[in-house]
Amino acid sequence: MRRRRTSCSKKNVPSAEIDIVRGVSYRPRVTLRAGGSCGHFEVTAGTLGAFVEDADAYYVLSNNHVLANSDACSRGDPILVPGPIDIVGGFSVVAQLSAWVPLGGGAGKVDAAIAAFSDDVAHFYPWQYAGIGTIKRSPIADRFAVNRVAKRGRTTGVTRGVVSAFDLDGVAIDYGSHASPRLVTFDNQLEFVGSPPEKPFSQPGDSGSLIIDANSMRPYALVYGGGLDADGIDRTLGHFLPEVLDELGVTIVK
Amino acid sequence: MTTAGPKPLVAAQAAKRKLAEAFRGESWFRGVGLAPANRRDLFTLRLTVDPSAHDEPSLPTECEGIPVEVVFLAAYRPRAGGSGNS
């Protein structure tokens, strides 16, 4: 039986002294759950995908463009829950940016980053995804062994889908603007459509969501992008999770 | 005469590389990969094409005896909130 982690025993990074958003209240001592809104203080919002660890700390895992502002960041930058665009009554600084895989330009590896818990995190639920269930702690090892998937994200909540493509090469994503494009190209990517296909598996704001193999409940991929095809089917891109964890030198919390 | 059909992983990956070599660099090319077939251990090919590209592509229906599924999709975007969805 899995236990609920009720406190944070590792040494956490001290809270930053911040005054980021004036006029809203700050909420210390929070309980963290995966699948909700989060973000770097200068982005809109994405999804807190999963809880990961190394020998030193617990971290939240999401995308570079969610936690590290697409490389426009500094180590220690505050990570907010909810993400800045979702702040209404209050927010918490739940983590400080620790590491990110640079997006750069041209050939990319993964769009991923981690942020170490701040002292304000009192409790967290490392394996529970409301509406989906309890995940296993070791990710899927074979990227071709998955068909049905589920995810919980900030915008669309719990959705279910299927793998529509494995091993996609030459996938270009524009991290810039119309005025100033910044194309990053990824190989060996995964793509998903909703089940049924007319129901989007993800939408903007779901970046960073953990994609879970519905059969085994093992973590499988990390949402980072998507687009609408000419038939009106929304297609979600994901990085194969073992590659994300290897790049960042972390594992799912054991 | 053989009919095109899904193939095991190694054969499908070889055909994917051939498709990528043929089309990478074309203005309409937006990616190539493997699509799952009805049987878990078999795959078809997947080619993503930008429908707004100026060049008129000549699209294959198969490669190395493996069917090619063509998806028309102009662009993928990151999925942070408010980043838009093309």
- Tens of pLDDT, residue by residue over A162-209, are 999 999 999 999 998 888 889 999 999 999 999 999 999 999 999 999
Q: Under an 8 A CB cutoff, do A227 and B76 touch?
A: yes
pLDDT bracket for residue B69 (50, 70, 90):
very high
* Phi, psi of B10, deg, nearest 5: -60, -45
Mean pLDDT value of segment A101-129: 94
- CA distance to partner chain B, nearest, from residue A3 (Å): 32
Is residue A14's pLDDT more than 50? no
- Omega of the bond leading into A196 within 30 degrees of 0 (cis): yes
For residue A204, give the nearest of B30, B35, B84 by CB distance: B84
Reference B68, options B40, B39, B31; nearest CA is B31
| Domain range annotation of chain B | 6-72
Q: Under an 8 A CB cutoff, do A165 and B46 touch?
A: yes
DSSP B28: T
Q: CA angle, corner A105, sides to A243 and A67, nearest 5?
A: 60
- Per the document, the length of chain A is 254
Reference A200, options A155, A147, A135; nearest CA is A155
User: Lowest-pLDDT range, A31-35, A63-67, B42-46, B57-61?
Assistant: B57-61
SS3 B11: helix
For residue B33, give the nearest of A169, A228, A236 by CB distance: A169
Q: What is the pTM of this model?
A: 0.91
Quote ipTM for the complex: 0.91
pLDDT bracket for residue A3 (50, 70, 90):
very low
Cβ distance B79 to A207 under 8 Å? Answer: yes
**Mean of pLDDT over chain A:** 91
CATH number attached to the domain at B6-72: 3.30.300
Cross-strand bridge partners of residue B66: B63
Q: What is the pLDDT of residue A183?
A: 92
Alpha-helical (H) ranges within chain B are 9-23
End-to-end CA distance of chain A: 13
- Per the document, the length of chain B is 86
